[in-house]
Amino acid sequence: MHNRSNLFVYGEILQDGTVDNISSYASFMNVTASNFGGSVRNALSSGNLSGTSGMGGVDPAKAVDFVETHDTYEDGSSKNLSDWQRKAGWAIVASRAGSTPLFFNRPTGSIGSAGDGQWHDTDIVAINAFHNAMAGQNEYLRWTNNNSTMLIDRGTIGTVIVNYGNSTYLSTSTNLASGTYTNHGSASATLTVSNGTIKGNIPANSVIVLYGNGSDTGSGTGTGSTSAVFTSSPVTAVAGQTVTITYNAGGRALQGSSTMTMHWGYDSWKGLADTAMTSQGNNIWQVTVTVPSAASSALNMVFTNGSSWDNNNSANWSVPVTASGSGTGTGTGTGTGTGTGTGTDTGSTTGGGTTGTTAYAPHAGYKVDYDSSALVQGKSFTIYYKGALAGSNQVTLHWGSNGWTGTADAGMTKRTDGFWEATVTIPSTASILNLVFTDGSSWDNNGSKDWNLTVWPTANPAQASPAPTAGQQTTVIYNGSFAANASSMTLHWGTNGWASTADVVMTKQASGAWSAVITLPSGANILNMAFKNQAGTWDSNNSKNYNYSVSQ
């Protein structure tokens, strides 16, 4: 047979969870994600779209996903779905990363009759075009509007929104590049993205397909790729603070590498260092480093797999550095050939951390992680989970505020690094955010202590990164009322109601904040903190102290 390598081969393997042995079949061909199809149909029936994360236990790269097939139509499990429900379901399954979607052309009569023609519906066509345009892009899933609205980001270049309810005004976090986007489908909708937030009116019961018409942000150089080759977050790094670098090896000399290292320095290659990067899948690599406090103009970097190098055609890559703490945002470099894409995106720095679209990467070895600078009323807050339930097929974040009022469930999405991720919007009335996790049958409630996180009206004056975990280090960053004028600061801390207290002298950062690194004892469940300046004057948060739940 000629061109047999171009054949797409998959098997119809019906999952029963016990004897299907689907992983063995997936080792030599693609397989149907029948459990995921069931989850999608259940979500369409209930109106709660949060159950559509994951891929039902199938590797997305091996999955053939669907809303319905001839079997589900004939056995009645999908036959009652309306045309709108089928379209909404197709928007979900065909927009996901890695998988190959299967569209069932419903017969106008019995099986074997002519199809009903929904395959050339305007929205179906737009979704199919989106699927093809997003090849190789990773995904970021989240749910809002009481889980009746689902957003599927693909890299920074495209988003599909499924609104399964009344018309709504959307204002939520996104990875989509800043710009103005108009729906490619039938509904009339134009949305704007700025500083990592997407906003706009979404019509009732609609599918919104966005890509290709936003403005480029940041700066960089690309070769032969439609996605960013190099991105930095923030665009302008701040001396003494962290910066996240993302490198896309797809279509370049290091494509397909099993390891990746960033070789970097600052101010024309001073202080050389090699830092291992973490694979994000699809040839995407990422690393977070701390900008040396001595850096004043730029970070310099190239990439290697240990034998070959990518030095951007001898131009290297660089990220501007400021000591002022005024540069934020996310920059993306894209292009074709040797062209460059340029633009601007700015933000502000508060509370010792950056606002805007700064990407926070969860830390290996931590059960729960989050960017504590985002613990602010009305702000989007992303939780990363890799605790006892991380090996489950699905994980749901169960959360509330102020002692478990207004509880809600948010379906979590599994990342390539093993963490589960969900983003919620902190209520404007919240002073405490309450969190636990479930896989549908078992719960992780942090040893019956839950996770209870203090929420602030504006900036968080006492941050901790990574999120406090028993037996692990965390960096405490203080930018409270004493920070600006203090000549010295001391962190006074203890655990479990001030047991075994200790004092640590803090270091002033270029941003004006003060930092100290501590290691939490293995039995800790609460971190208690207060701060004092050189005069011995205390900041104890009006005698309430600064407290964090510690992951067990």
CA 278, 279, 282 angle in degrees (round to 5)? 160
Average pLDDT over residues 74-82: 89
Which helix (DSSP H) or strand (DSSP E) does residue 279 occupy?
strand 278-281
CB 355 within 8 A of CB 460: no
What's the start-to-end Cα distance of the chain, in Å?
Answer: 58
Q: pLDDT tens digit string along 447-477?
A: 999 999 999 998 899 999 999 999 999 999 9
338 band by pLDDT with thresholds 50, 70 and 90: very low
CB 366 within 8 A of CB 550: no
How far is it, in rounded angstroms, from Cα 432 to Cα 418? 27
Overall residue count recorded for the chain in this entry = 552
How far is it, in rounded angstroms, from Cα 271 to Cα 323? 17
* Amino acid at position 60, single letter: P
User: How high is the pLDDT of residue 266?
Assistant: 86
User: How high is the pLDDT of residue 430?
Assistant: 92
The residues pairing with 253 across neighbouring beta strands, listed in sequence order, are none
**CB neighbours (10 Å) of residue 449?**
15
Q: Name the token pair of 272.
A: 């050389």
User: How high is the pLDDT of residue 479?
Assistant: 92
- Is it the case that residue 357 has pLDDT exceeding 60? no
Candidates 140, 319, 102, 119; CA nearest to 230 is: 319
Report which of residues 131 and 312 the model is more confident about. Answer: 131
User: How high is the pLDDT of residue 339?
Assistant: 29
Those residues with Cβ within 8 angstroms of residue 535's Cβ, 6 or more apart along the chain or in another chain: none
CB 139 within 8 A of CB 153: yes
Those residues with Cβ within 8 angstroms of residue 375's Cβ, 6 or more apart along the chain or in another chain: 381, 426, 433, 453, 454, 455, 456, 460
**CB neighbours (10 Å) of residue 350?**
19
CA 449, 398, 33 angle in degrees (round to 5)? 130
Q: How many helices (H) and strands (E) does the chain have?
A: 5, 45
16 band by pLDDT with thresholds 50, 70 and 90: low
Candidates 156, 163, 164, 204; CA nearest to 181 is: 156
CB 164 within 8 A of CB 213: no
Residue 542: burial class (beta carbons within 10 Å; 0-12, 13-18, 19+): exposed
How far is it, in rounded angstroms, from Cα 430 to Cα 454? 9
CB 11 within 8 A of CB 30: yes
Distances (CA, A) of 13 to 16, 86, 100, 286: 9, 22, 15, 35
Q: Name the token pair of 488.
A: 């010295």
> Is the backbone of residue 306 left (phi > 0), alpha (psi -120 to 50) or beta?
left
CB 402 within 8 A of CB 364: no
Three-state DSSP state, 49: helix
User: How high is the pLDDT of residue 228?
Assistant: 61
Q: In 469-530, which ranges are continuous DSSP H helix? A: none
How far is it, in rounded angstroms, from Cα 530 to Cα 158? 44
213 band by pLDDT with thresholds 50, 70 and 90: low
How far is it, in rounded angstroms, from Cα 395 to Cα 146? 17
CB 272 within 8 A of CB 354: no
Average pLDDT over residues 60-73: 89
Three-state DSSP state, 417: coil
Average pLDDT over residues 32-54: 90
Helix axis angle for 122-133 and 83-95, nearest 10°, is 10
- Is it the case that residue 352 has pLDDT exceeding 50? no
- Is it the case that residue 498 has pLDDT exceeding 60? yes
* Amino acid at position 23, single letter: S
Q: How big, in percent rounded to 5, are the helix, strand and coil portions of the chain?
A: 10, 40, 50
CB 399 within 8 A of CB 39: no
- What phi, psi does 502 have (nearest 5°)? -150, 155
How far is it, in rounded angstroms, from Cα 288 to Cα 273? 13
- Is it the case that residue 399 has pLDDT exceeding 80? yes
**CB neighbours (10 Å) of residue 487?**
8
User: How high is the pLDDT of residue 46?
Assistant: 92
- Is it the case that residue 82 has pLDDT exceeding 50? yes
CB 504 within 8 A of CB 516: yes
- Is it the case that residue 325 has pLDDT exceeding 60? no
How far is it, in rounded angstroms, from Cα 348 to Cα 478? 17
CB 387 within 8 A of CB 350: no
Q: Name the token pair of 205.
A: 């019961």
Written as one string, the DSSP assignment of 86-146 is: HHHHHHHHHHSSS-EEE----BSSSTTSPB-SGGG-HHHHHHHHHHHHTTT--EEEEEETT
161 band by pLDDT with thresholds 50, 70 and 90: very high
Q: Name the token pair of 273.
A: 């260092």
